[in-house]
Amino acid sequence: MTARIINCPPRHGQPGAAPARDGRGLAPVRRGGPEWTTLAPVCAVVVAGLVALREPANPGLATAFMSAALVWLLASVRGLAHWARWARWAAVLLGGGCLFWPDPLLGAAAAACAVWLWPRRPRYQRPRAAGATDRDREAAQAAGMLGERRVSATLERGLPDGYVVLNGLMLPQGAGDIDHLVVGPTGVFLLETKTMAGRIECDQDGTWRRTRRGRGGTPYAAFIGDPATQAERNIRAVRAVLNGRGRQSVHHRDVWITGLIVFAHPDVDLSVGNSRVVALVLDDLVATIVSHTPRRVLLPRDVDDLIDALLADGAAGVPAKQSAQAVVELALVLPALLAVVFGIVVVSRLVQTQMALVAVAQEAARAGALATTPESAARSGVDRGEQVAANYGLHRERGLVVALDARQFRSGGKVLADATYTVDLADVPLLGWAPSPTVHAEHVEWVDPYRSGLVGP
């Protein structure tokens, strides 16, 4: 009996990993459906843009709020759960900090954002009854797991000491999991387990066919796929790992990997002499491994080094590499996205300023048209224009200029109001270097002799 059987636990989200349940047997269900992870950060970005449009008293906090929302959005799209979680909490805390700004509308928007973004506890529900397709899939998975357990038990009973068996190993370049990997004095063996009944054949062109008989004895074709291609793909994955980690520990010599397709079902008839990968029944497995003549006998030290290399790479896997690549992509894309977002903020400020100046010019001209003399028209028009501009957050100290031309102030004449404002972009991150644009608006108001304060013709 071999002394070492290593069962690699399945990762979350992989076949064989059961969903977590609470003590009542209820499975957690994500609130709001699968689109929640993208919808929430999108709302955060929108609210953050609205916050920045208000020209807050603390632009640094607004910038941090928008940056956290963008990082959360990108991390959610890229599947970076760790980054998304920290960015979500940052957006919640910064959104709550917006409450300290002296602006009721801004505080209400930030409070709503903080409540909406607050992490929600998962709700639980009882699993629904499976349909026919689900039952068939579950039956196939159960049969596959049973076959893998039979293979593992056979290896444990039959292999002599000195062999190590890895069950369910995950590797970066492999598709799914590797059913079994045997490392011992006679070499490295990759086992692809198939639990299929019936007659299985492999044609000269490598096409696999499986034939079963129905209840009435009528033969029919059943699915089998291409086990040889699947085994070869996994062999390349294991060889890549050994070339990267194991070559230095096995005296810089190549380790040959032998692929074996094991049919574990007791009611199987094989005719697979044309297969590129050796295919056999379960009863012949141990004898094939032990009697194999390797290119070089592996010493116990070599076996241990190879097992350590495979387990180290299987523990790291693709997610770490993908996460590192995604972080680099995030670092490259984030500045461009921030520039686009803050560019939209600048355009929105210009549009809001233009609309405010139009209202300022209209009110200034109307106030001037109701005066009694040209001098009072100019004075009242400017005063009224500055009063309206203050309601929009535009002040003379920040670049507001209101002027009224009353040279044609007479009965049936007109007055011209002109409003100009210089938009300061110094508080906009990434765009503070841009020159401050000037926005202009004017309005002409006719002097109505029946409404104005003119005396005489």
pLDDT band at 77 (very low <50, low <70, confident <90, very high): low
In the 8-state DSSP scheme, what is residue 125? E
Residue type, 295: R
Report phi then psi at 270, rounded to 5.
-105, 140
Q: Which residue has the higher pLDDT, 412 or 116?
A: 412
Provide mean pLDDT across the span 20-40. Answer: 44
- The bridge status of strand 164-169 relative to strand 4-7 is parallel
**Cα separations in angstroms, 85 against 75, 76, 81, 92, 355:** 9, 9, 6, 11, 40
Beta strand ranges found along 159-313 (DSSP E): 164-169, 178-184, 187-194, 198-202, 208-213, 219-222, 257-263, 268-271, 278-281
pLDDT band at 76 (very low <50, low <70, confident <90, very high): low
**Domain ranges across the chain:** 34-120, 138-298, 342-446
Lowest mean pLDDT among 16-30, 170-184, 317-331: 16-30
**Cα separations in angstroms, 304 against 141, 234, 298:** 32, 21, 10
pLDDT at 133: 57
Locate 385 and state its tokens.
């224009």
Residue type, 179: D
pLDDT at 64: 67
Burial tier of 388 (Cβ tally within 10 Å: 0-12, 13-18, 19+): buried
- Reply yes or no on whether the pLDDT at 335 is more than 60: yes
- Reply yes or no on whether the pLDDT at 165 is more than 70: yes
- Distance, in Å, from the CA atom of 406 to the CA atom of 8, rounded to the nearest integer, reads 88
- Reply yes or no on whether the pLDDT at 163 is more than 70: yes
Provide mean pLDDT across the span 227-233. Answer: 91
pLDDT band at 12 (very low <50, low <70, confident <90, very high): very low
Contacts of 177 (CB under 8 A, 6+ apart): 8, 10, 14, 15, 16, 168, 169, 170
- The bridge status of strand 208-213 relative to strand 123-125 is unpaired
Q: What's CA 71's distance to the chain center, in Å?
A: 10
In the 8-state DSSP scheme, what is residue 398? G
- Reply yes or no on whether the pLDDT at 320 is more than 50: no
Percent of the chain with pLDDT over 70: 60
Q: What is the pLDDT of residues 240-259, one digit of tens each?
A: 777 765 445 544 456 789 99
- Reply yes or no on whether the pLDDT at 30 is more than 60: no
In the numeric block, the tokens 């039959």 are attached to: 158
pLDDT band at 201 (very low <50, low <70, confident <90, very high): very high
Contact of 73 with 55, CB cutoff 8 Å? no
pLDDT band at 422 (very low <50, low <70, confident <90, very high): very high
- Distance, in Å, from the CA atom of 307 to the CA atom of 323, rounded to the nearest integer, reads 25
- Reply yes or no on whether the pLDDT at 132 is more than 50: no
**Cα separations in angstroms, 155 against 4, 24, 181, 191, 453:** 10, 38, 11, 11, 108
Contact of 428 with 372, CB cutoff 8 Å? no
- Tell me, which fold does domain 138-298 have in CATH? Restriction Endonuclease (3.40.91)
Across the chain, mean pLDDT equals 75
- Reply yes or no on whether the pLDDT at 227 is more than 60: yes
- Distance, in Å, from the CA atom of 256 to the CA atom of 343, rounded to the nearest integer, reads 58
Would the pTM of this model clear 0.75, i.e. be above it? no
pLDDT at 115: 52
Measured from the Cβ of residue 90, the count of other Cβ atoms closer than 10 Å reads 17
- Reply yes or no on whether the pLDDT at 129 is more than 70: no
